[in-house]
Structure 1
Amino acid sequence: MKLSAIAAPHLFIPPEWDREINHIVIDSRDVKQGDLFIARVGRDNHGERFIETAIQAGASAVVALGEPGFRCGILGVPIFSTPDLLDHLSDWLHRAYAGVSQLDLTAVTGTNGKSSVTQYIAQLLTQMKIECGLLGTLGNGIWPNLAETRNTTADLSVVLRHLNDMAEQSIKYAALEVSSHGIDQRRIDGIHFKVAVLTNLTRDHLDYHGSMEAYFEAKRRLFVGGNIGAALINIDDGYGRRLAADKDITVPVFTYGHSDKAEVRYHNVELNARGMTATLTTPWGEADIVLPLIGEFNLANATAAIAVLAIQGFPFESLVAAASTLQSVAGRMEVYVKDNGPLAIVDFAHTPDALDNVLNALKPWNKAISLVFGCGGERDRTKRPIMAVIAQAHAAQVWLTDDNPRGENSDQIFSDVLAADGSDNFYCIHDRRKAIESALEKTDKDGIVVITGKGHEAYQEISGTRHAYSDAGVLIAQGYRKAGEDYVA
């Protein structure tokens, strides 16, 4: 597409400076031959700093935020500037990636459960012989072939590009994890979602939002005034109940959860080490469901995935049948086993609510728990002692270790965690590998070692540098293997 076709009528492009555009790119690191580079103001830098880098990478044109003007950059590449760039960028992107409008999209937001709900949606569709696209924390692509991503919700240019690629491959459905940052920073502007889901809202990201109220308001914007066809909201959650009652939501609202007031309700729950069973009562009928998943929160996530697709017209009975094949998401309640060794669980839980859910989910096993956990650096400090209290409430032994310290002093992180009363009996080992090895050694073979915080991540970020590291890799090096479906008795 020509630059003039993308930018008109907002920006006049003289014919002699018009260029054929491949993709629209915001991050100079992603620029390829023939791309249009957008030099806008970010949180830390102005894109002007990276114009030459983008041109050297192959950009055929640049549009920058600034006073109206034009100049010829290096290699004869035209550089246009306009003060209205941010007002028009969303329109330009949707024009360039028009295929996105052909997709039926689901947005899943919430503190916890986004990855699980989106992947369960993809798994259910796949079981019914329908391909599904995914964008989120664990990668972007057509399930199950996902490529690594930098953010839960990427920039709008990246989101639309991926979705457009899916449309060109005749994909009809896609599920997106939508973070509060993504909503606040307009990374989903102009995208229509058939269904938007709120899984829950618990303490997290206060370093960014400042308060739970501001955090809630960011989530609320997806549902109130957002571009959605229906809302699905978990009313077991206090903020969910508040949102479901919001009179400013103008689309149909469906509620789900364990609550008697939920329209999509799971009840008669029986948990066991192999998974769980329950009854689903819904607007589309009632059925018993068998899930090969651990933890009631996963039942809630599976219920949400089923409801999303039922809202879009898929047969309820087929969805319930397909749910019996659901597999846990990478780094979420993954079970590892070793002959004559304690059971090991790897989970991404890095918030107080998620940690509490994971530890509660293991109660049916009636085994003593050893917990290895840490807290991320340069993130909300107030949740650290709260997580220590939760650890004490559920675990017989606790190892405090480094998560992703990032640029923060890990001793400061430890100090914040250990401010909680009763935490003086924690084993404190900064080296995460050694902490896990110590927990495995000190835990009886009939016990469980729970390792939380990093889940699927294959790195540890220390002093701004990512080092290759994996919790699962540590277990495998100790002779562990991932459990088969029928392992636990």
Structure 2
Amino acid sequence: MKLSQIVMPELFMPPEWDRDVHHLIIDSRDVQPGDVFIARQGAAAHGAQHITDAVQRGAAAILAEGDAQGFRCEWNDDGDTIPVFISADIKQHLNTWLFRRYPLNSMSLIGVTGTNGKSSVTQYIAQLASACGEACGVLGTLGNGRWPQLAPTRNTTPDLSIILRNLSELTEQSVNLTAMEVSSHGLSQKRVAGIGFSIAVLTNLTQDHLDYHGTMDHYFAAKRALFVDHGVQIALINTDDEYGRRLAADKALTCKVMRYGRNAEADVRYRMTALTGAGIEAELTTPWGTGHLSLPLIGEFNLANASAAIAALAAKGLDFNALCAAASQLQPVAGRMELYTKAGAPMAVIDFAHTPDALSNVIGALKPWDKPLTTVFGCGGDRDRSKRPLMAAVVARESDFAVLTDDNPRTEDPHQIFADVLAGAPELAHEHNRTAAIRQAVTSAGADGIVLIAGKGHENYQDIMGVKHPYSDESVLLSLGYQKAGGAHD
């Protein structure tokens, strides 16, 4: 696309300096040959400091925010002349130019916001849609792209330029449906300004990010903006949550409101019917019918997240019965409550929990299974030492048996880490070799038990004295004959 087609008439483009360009980039580190670098005033610095870097990376032109209209040239290493257009109105017009360069066209967006569950709901939407033959994109904390090929991202809700570029690339791959995490920071900082969502989901709202928002009311107001400022057609709201009930009753919502949860007033109502060694059995009552779910997932929150994903896609027109059937293949977010099974052996769960609160929450989610619980855990080196005895106390109090082991010792002496941890529960069994600790836990737990392996999640290494040695909790379980519950997503 010609630069003039993007910036005119807001910015005059002399014909002699017009040129074909690729992407509009706001971070010089992302510039590729042919891109346009946007040098804006940021919170701490001006992007103009990185113009030279952008030019050397191959920028075809620079649009720089300045006090007055102006023009100058830069030269790259090959001696090519790179125009720098200076205007006080760059920030004012940037969103217009972004949408001109990256029109959304046929893309349908499902926005998911909330304190917890955003990653799970967006990935469940993508998994279910894909299983039902609908290509689906994901934008969020754990990566952007067409499911399941996700590229890493720096932010839960990145800058508008990155969002639109990703959506444009998805459209080029014939993807017309995308599930997107929408954070409160992204909403309050207008990173999704101008984007319309066909469906918006609120998972929950609990205390978080008050260092930024100041109060819960301000935090809620940021989330509420998704539902009132973005052309939402259907609001899918968890009304088991206090703030969800508040939002569902908000007269400013002009869209269709659908409630989901356990409560009797919910339009989409889930009910656990059985807890098994393979996960959760549940009944889902909806406007599209009543379905049976066999979820290879652990924790009622995952049932709530799966129900939200099914409802969002059913509201988009996908077959409800097919979605319920596809749910039997769902996989949790990598490293979070991942369930592994083996005949005649205890259930095994891998989770990233590595703080006292996180451990307590994960163990609490396993309590409804009413099985003896063995916890394998460790504390990372070169990190907060004060939490170590607190983690030990939680595990000792809430588990039937526990084994302390190495996590990522990093540059600390593992024996010193153990000493810190055991100060909170001296009676804990301990084994530095993590593989041996897991084997011990699985062997001693008994077939009717659960083994929780906490701390490392999906990490595939163990950091010891600056060297990342190949290691994963999953590999240990697989070597013991375990299989991951549900489907496999490479």
- Indicate conservation of the 8 Å contact 1:203/1:353, yes or no: no
Aligned to 1:28: 28
Q: How far is 1:319 from its partner?
A: 1.9
Q: Which is higher, the Rg of structure 1 or of structure 2?
A: 2
* Counterparts in 2 of 1:207 and 1:321: CA distance versus 1, 3 Å: same
Q: Which residue of 2 aligns with 1:239?
A: 243
Q: State the 1:302 CA deviation.
A: 0.9
Letter in 1 for 2:97: W
* Structure 1 residues 320 and 308: alpha-carbon distance in aligned structure 2, compared to 1, 3 A threshold: same
Aligned position for 1:86: 91
State percent identity of aligned pairs: 50
Q: Is 2:371 aligned against 1:366?
A: yes
Q: For residues 128 and 280 of structure 1, what CA distance do their matches in structure 2 show?
A: 18
CA contact (8 A) 1:126 1:132 kept: yes
Shift of 1:373: 6.6
TM superposition score normalised by structure 1: 0.82
* 349-358 vs 260-269, which moves further: 349-358
SS at match of 1:366: coil
Given the alignment of the two structures, is residue 283 of structure 1 paired with residue 287 of structure 2, yes or no?
A: yes
Question: After alignment, is 290-299 or 192-201 more displaced?
Answer: 290-299
The Cα shift of 1:273 comes to: 1.7
Measured after TM superposition, the shift of residue 341 of structure 1 is 8.9
| Aligned counterparts of 1:234 and 1:385: Cα–Cα separation in 2 | 36
Equivalent residue letter for 1:186: K
Cα deviation, 1:396-430, whole Å, max 9, x if unaligned, reads 4485987899xxx9xxxx9xx99xxx9832799xx
Residue 133 of structure 2 aligns to a residue whose secondary structure is coil
Contact 2:67 2:88 in 1 (8 A): yes
Give the superposition deviation at 1:188. 1.7
Match of 1:325 in 2: 329
Question: Conserved in 1, the CA contact under 8 Å of 2:157 and 2:186?
Answer: yes
CA contact (8 A) 1:436 1:451 kept: no
Q: Secondary structure at the match of 1:176?
A: strand
Structure 2 counterparts to residues 252-401 of structure 1, below 5 A: 252-336=256-340, 344-349=348-353, 355-363=359-367, 364=369, 366-370=371-375, 372=377, 394-396=398-400, 397=402
Say which is worse superposed, 334-343 or 42-51, in terms of deviation: 334-343
Secondary structure of 1:77's counterpart equals strand
In the alignment, does 2:55 pair up with 1:58?
A: no
Contact 1:154 1:182 in 2 (8 A): yes
SS at match of 1:146: coil
Q: Which runs of 5+ in 1 are unaligned?
A: none
What is the alpha-carbon distance in structure 2 between the residues aligned to residue 72 and residue 403 of structure 1? 50
Q: What is the alpha-carbon distance in structure 2 between the residues aligned to residue 44 and residue 369 of structure 1?
A: 48
In the TM superposition, residue 38 of structure 1 has moved relative to its aligned partner by 0.9
Q: CA deviation at 1:139?
A: 1.8
Cα distance 1:238–1:57, how it changes in 2: closer, same or farther (>3 A)? same
One-letter amino acid matched to 2:171 = A
Shift of 1:60: 0.6
SS at match of 2:224: helix
Partner of residue 179, structure 1: 183
Give me the whole-angstrom Cα distance separating, in 2, the residues matched to 1:436 and 1:317.
42
Show the counterpart of 2:46.
46
User: What is the one-letter code of the residue matched to 1:308?
Assistant: A
CA contact (8 A) 1:371 1:451 kept: yes
Q: Which residue of 1 aligns with 2:452?
A: 450
1:87 to partner: Cα distance: 2.3
Instruction: Give the structure 2 partner of residue 96 of structure 1.
Output: 101
| 1:460 Cα deviation from its structure 2 partner | 8.8
TM-score where L is the length of structure 2: 0.82
* Equivalent position of 2:476 in the other structure: 476
Question: Once structures 1 and 2 are overlaid, which stretch shifts more, 8-17 or 333-342?
Answer: 333-342
RMSD: 4.0
Q: Is the 8 A contact 2:113 2:223 kept in 1?
A: yes
Which residue of the partner structure matches residue 122 of structure 1?
A: 126
Cα distance per residue 1:213-238 (max 9 Å; x no partner) = 33322222212323322211111222
**In 2, are the aligned partners of 1:334 and 1:482 still within 8 Å (CA)?**
no
Contact 2:235–2:256, Cα closer than 8 Å, also in 1? yes
5+ long unaligned stretches in structure 2 = none
Judge which range, 33-42 or 201-210, deviates more: 201-210
Q: In 2, Cα distance between the equivalents of 1:93 and 1:296?
A: 41
Give the whole-Å Cα distance in 2 for the aligned partners of 1:155 and 1:274: 40
- 2:226 maps to 222
For the pair 1:155 / 2:153, whether they are aligned, the reply is no
Asked if residue 200 in structure 1 is aligned to residue 201 in structure 2, the reply is no
For the residue of structure 2 that corresponds to 1:34, the secondary structure is coil
CA contact (8 A) 2:461 2:472 kept: no
Kept in 1, the 8 Å contact 2:329–2:486? The answer is no
CA distance in 1, matches of 2:426, 2:231: 48
CA contact (8 A) 2:350 2:454 kept: yes
Structure 1 CA distance, aligned partners of 2:116 and 2:321?
Answer: 27
Please state how far the C-alpha of 1:24 moved relative to its aligned partner. 0.8
Displacement of 1:304 = 0.3
User: Are the counterparts in 2 of residues 403 and 453 from structure 1 also a CA contact under 8 Å?
Assistant: no
> How many residues are paired up?
471
Q: Is the 8 A contact 1:343 1:448 kept in 2?
A: yes
- Look up the SS of the partner of 1:62 in the other structure: strand
Asked if the contact 2:260–2:267 (Cα under 8 Å) also holds between the matched residues in 1, the reply is yes
* Structure 1 partner of 2:73: 72
- 2:390–2:424: 8 Å Cα contact kept in structure 1? no
Structure 2 CA distance for partners of 1:5 and 1:377, relative to 1, 3 Å: farther
In 1, Cα distance between the equivalents of 2:388 and 2:116?
17
Query: Structure 1 pair 478/255, CA: closer, same or farther in 2 (3 Å)?
Result: closer
Corresponding residue SS for 2:291: strand
| Distance of 1:94 and 1:72 partners within structure 2 | 27
Q: In 2, are the aligned partners of 1:369 and 1:450 still within 8 Å (CA)?
A: yes
Give the partner amino acid of 1:324: S
Task: Give the AA of the match of 2:452.
Answer: V
| Cα distance per residue 1:46-81 (max 9 Å; x no partner) | 211111001000001111222122221233211122
Question: What SS does the aligned partner of 1:78 have?
Answer: strand
